[in-house]
């Protein structure tokens, strides 16, 4: 039996991934910040629930050790834990910026640093990093979140080169908008006391809501994560969701300014001066 370690499994995509791998006959090391609150996954066989906070390196090492002790080896790691922050950049505090980078970027880096020596020694393993469509394209009022996910995209693409010699596969999953608690749990940057920004946020969010009609279910993302873990190919990126397909297609299949013009017309047409 193969074994996967997943971070952030208390809810959403991580939880759906645990259930998918479990259903398909894998052992799962289901990690979460507060395992004491878990009441469902611990009823299932072949799931080990372990505490792991990506901001606390000692919990990462302990979870990997516990997983190997229980199941003998780890075949894949899914860096899923993540958080959102919305609002205009100017009013984000230093603490907010540090916190979101600590979870979304330095967190996966810590997990990678802990698992890579092990994968390198075993000459196999699959890294699956959950980024976002927001790691390839951008939307108004999400700048800091995008900065974290673009960063994770770049890191993951770049390490894929250096891991090939050791037989380690690297995968990036790019979900589109997905029905989880993610948006509701987001941090917000303060609006400050700037009416123009408040108006802008309302316009940007209003247009976002108008176009946010292509939401996926977490189970759909989990199917793709499972596919990436099992596929014997060198494919790096996996896009999931109609919105991801639409926006990344626009970004890749036109010139850069045409893509930017499209996004501005879609999300902030109220601020564009009419062109003759
Ligand atoms: N939902 C979307 O629209 C969407 C779209 C694209 C990409 N994504 C990405 O998908 C991933 C999963 O998000 P989701 O949509 O499933 O949202 P979610 O339901 O809020 O799940 C996020 C998970 O990350 C965990 N987490 C947060 N901080 C953590 C930390 N410091 N250490 C360990 N775990 C931590 C949360 O645990 P707690 O319960 O303890 O907070 C939760 O289990 C994220 O990386 C997100 O960026 C989501």
176: Cβ–Cβ under 8 A, 6 or more apart, which residues?
Answer: 133, 214, 215, 216, 239, 240, 241, 242, 243, 244, 245, 247
Rounded CA gap, 190 and 214, in Å? 28
Q: Give 200 Cα–ligand 1 centroid separation in angstroms.
A: 27
Residue to substitute in 14, 57, 101, 179 for testing ligand 1 pocket (most ligand atoms within 8 angstroms of CB) = 14
Q: Which of 71, 118, 145, 271 is catalytic?
A: 145
E strands, 61-110, are 76-79, 85-86
Each residue's pLDDT tens digit, 33-44: 999 999 999 999
Amino acid 151: pLDDT? 98
CB neighbour list of residue 225: distance below 8 Å, 6 or more residues apart: 13, 17, 20, 78, 80, 128, 130, 173
With a cut of 50, say whether residue 194 has pLDDT above it.
yes
Q: Give the pLDDT mean for 200-228.
A: 94
3-84+95-184+215-241: which CATH number, 3.40.50.720, 3.90.1150.10, 3.30.465.10, 3.30.360.10?
Answer: 3.40.50.720
**Phi-psi category of residue 89: left, alpha or beta, with phi > 0 → left and psi -120 to 50 → alpha:** alpha
Between 153 and 204, name the one with better pLDDT: 153
Higher pLDDT, 254 or 35: 35
Mean pLDDT of 140-167: 98
DSSP letter (8 states) at residue 43: G
The predicted pLDDT at position 191 comes to: 73
φ, ψ of residue 85 to 5 degrees: the values are: -145, 130
What is the rounded average pLDDT for all residues in the chain? 96
Annotation says 161 is catalytic: no
Q: Pick the atom of ligand 1 nearest to 104's CA.
A: 45
pLDDT in tens, 239-250: 999 999 999 999
Is it the case that residue 276 has pLDDT exceeding 60? no
Q: 108 C-alpha vs ligand 1 centroid, how far in Å?
A: 12
Element at 159 (helix H, strand E): helix 143-163
H or E segment to which residue 5 belongs = strand 3-6
What confidence score (pLDDT) does residue 275 get? 57
Share of the chain above pLDDT 90, in %: 93
Percent of the chain surpassing pLDDT 70: 99
Which sequence spans correspond to the domains of the chain? 3-84+95-184+215-241
Instruction: Point out the least confidently predicted range of 157-166, 175-184, 267-276.
Output: 267-276
pLDDT score for 137:
97
């Amino acid at each position: 039996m193969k074994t996967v370690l997943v971070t952030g499994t208390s809810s959403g995509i991580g939880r759906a991934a645990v259930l998918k791998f479990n259903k398909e006959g894998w052992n799962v090391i289901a990690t979460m910040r507060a395992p004491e609150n878990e009441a469902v996954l611990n009823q299932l066989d072949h799931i080990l629930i372990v505490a792991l906070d990506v901001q606390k390196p000692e919990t990462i090492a302990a979870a990997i050790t516990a997983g190997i002790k229980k199941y003998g080896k780890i075949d894949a790691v899914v860096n899923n834990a993540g958080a959102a922050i919305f609002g205009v950049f100017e009013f984000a505090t230093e603490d907010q910026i540090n916190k979101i980078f600590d979870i979304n970027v330095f967190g996966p880096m810590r997990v990678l640093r802990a698992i890579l020596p092990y994968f390198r020694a075993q000459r196999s393993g699959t890294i699956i990093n959950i980024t976002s469509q927001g790691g390839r394209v951008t939307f108004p009022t999400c700048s800091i979140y995008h900065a974290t996910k673009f960063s994770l995209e770049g890191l993951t693409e770049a390490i894929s080169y250096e891991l090939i010699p050791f037989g380690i596969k690297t995968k990036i999953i790019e979900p589109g908008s997905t029905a989880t608690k993610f948006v509701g749990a987001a941090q917000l940057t303060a609006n400050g006391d700037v009416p123009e920004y408040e108006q802008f946020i309302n316009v940007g969010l209003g247009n976002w809501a108008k176009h946010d009609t292509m939401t996926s279910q977490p189970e759909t993302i989990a199917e793709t994560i499972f596919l990436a873990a099992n596929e014997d190919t060198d494919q790096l990126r996996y896009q999931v969701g109609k919105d991801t397909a639409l926006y990344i297609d626009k970004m890749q299949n036109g010139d850069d300014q045409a893509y930017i013009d499209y996004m501005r017309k879609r999300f902030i047409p109220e601020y564009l001066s009419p062109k003759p």
